[in-house]
């Protein structure tokens, strides 16, 4: 029989733990809203005469006819094939945990996402590290995974390009973040890096092998390979993060006109 004193102590401990959990839930960072993303973005003004010849005619550009087109890039896939202008990427093979690699994890998620989107009549292509020059799609999403020396670090990150010509990428990133959180229940990690917002594939001014300026884009770090809970979601059940990503894309496209 527990003594009366230990019962009281136990009750107090449970109350304290519930309170701490409630506080944690209250303080858990939420993904940014579209307006918060917008405040981060720089306005891009285009002076055509200053553009590389591959981008001339941008002001008269029209979307090609046809179904919605989505490009899913698998981070670090075939990194050794990177073109000369992005030579430094050849040795950037991404993070890993034991035998689990970033590119394999991201590829599994990308393939499941492709299947879901194709079932909705969307044209989907999977891209490796090398983006075909001036590559246009309605949506471009780059899929990555994180790593950290501290196994308790967890969460996913979503970012849109620092310079966005479409003016819609922030909204897409916000929608994607919400749907991803709904699907995976992973916490949002607000530690968005410069490397994410300035991702090479977004940088069409500097690199030939990058997206066309009229492409709505985002990059997602789907979770930490070094965290057990994240692995149980992104490695063991890639269909769950894929559902989150696909829902984010479908939900955003439903609000758009071709």
The site for Zn ion (CB under 5 A) is made up of 75, 94, 144
Q: Which is nearer to Zn ion, 105 or 243 (CB)?
A: 105
How many angstroms separate the CA atoms of 249 and 140, rounded? 10
Q: Output the residue with the shortest Cβ distance to Zn ion.
A: 144
Decide: 211 and 201 in contact? Cβ < 8 Å: yes
* R_g of the chain computed on alpha carbons: 21
Q: Which is nearer to Zn ion, 94 or 155 (CB)?
A: 94
Helices (H), 185-238: 194-197, 228-234
Q: How far is the CB of 247 from Zn ion (least distance, A)?
A: 22
Q: How far is the CB of 99 from Zn ion (least distance, A)?
A: 17
Q: How far is the CB of 112 from Zn ion (least distance, A)?
A: 18
* CA-based nearest residue to 75, from 129, 139, 155: 129
Q: Which is nearer to Zn ion, 55 or 218 (CB)?
A: 218
CA 240 to chain centre: 14
Q: How far is the CB of 23 from Zn ion (least distance, A)?
A: 33
Q: Which is nearer to Zn ion, 23 or 195 (CB)?
A: 195
Name the phi and psi angles at 11, rounded to 5. -60, -40
């Amino acid at each position: 029989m527990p003594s009366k004193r230990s019962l009281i102590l136990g009750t107090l401990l449970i109350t304290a733990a519930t309170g701490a959990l409630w506080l944690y839930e209250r303080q858990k960072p939420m993904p940014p809203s579209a307006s918060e993303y917008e405040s981060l973005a720089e306005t891009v003004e285009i002076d055509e005469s200053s553009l590389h010849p591959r981008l001339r005619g941008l002001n008269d550009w029209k979307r090609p006819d046809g179904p919605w087109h989505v490009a899913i890039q698998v981070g670090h896939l075939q990194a050794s094939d990177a073109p000369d202008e992005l030579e430094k990427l050849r040795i950037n093979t991404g993070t890993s945990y034991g035998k689990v690699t970033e590119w394999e994890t991201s590829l599994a998620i990308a393939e499941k996402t492709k299947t879901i989107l194709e079932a909705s009549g969307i044209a989907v292509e999977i891209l490796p590290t090398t983006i075909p020059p001036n590559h246009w799609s309605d949506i471009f999403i780059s899929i990555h995974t994180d790593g950290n020396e501290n196994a308790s670090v967890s969460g996913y990150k979503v970012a849109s390009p620092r310079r966005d010509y479409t003016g819609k990428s922030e909204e897409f990133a916000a929608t994607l973040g919400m749907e991803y959180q709904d699907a995976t229940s992973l916490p949002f990690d607000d530690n968005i890096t410069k490397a994410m917002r300035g991702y090479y594939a977004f940088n069409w001014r500097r690199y030939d092998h990058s997206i066309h300026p009229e492409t709505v884009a985002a990059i997602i770090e789907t979770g930490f390979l070094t965290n057990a809970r994240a692995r149980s979601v992104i490695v063991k059940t890639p269909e769950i993060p894929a559902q989150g990503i696909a829902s984010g894309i479908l939900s955003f496209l439903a609000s758009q006109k071709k």
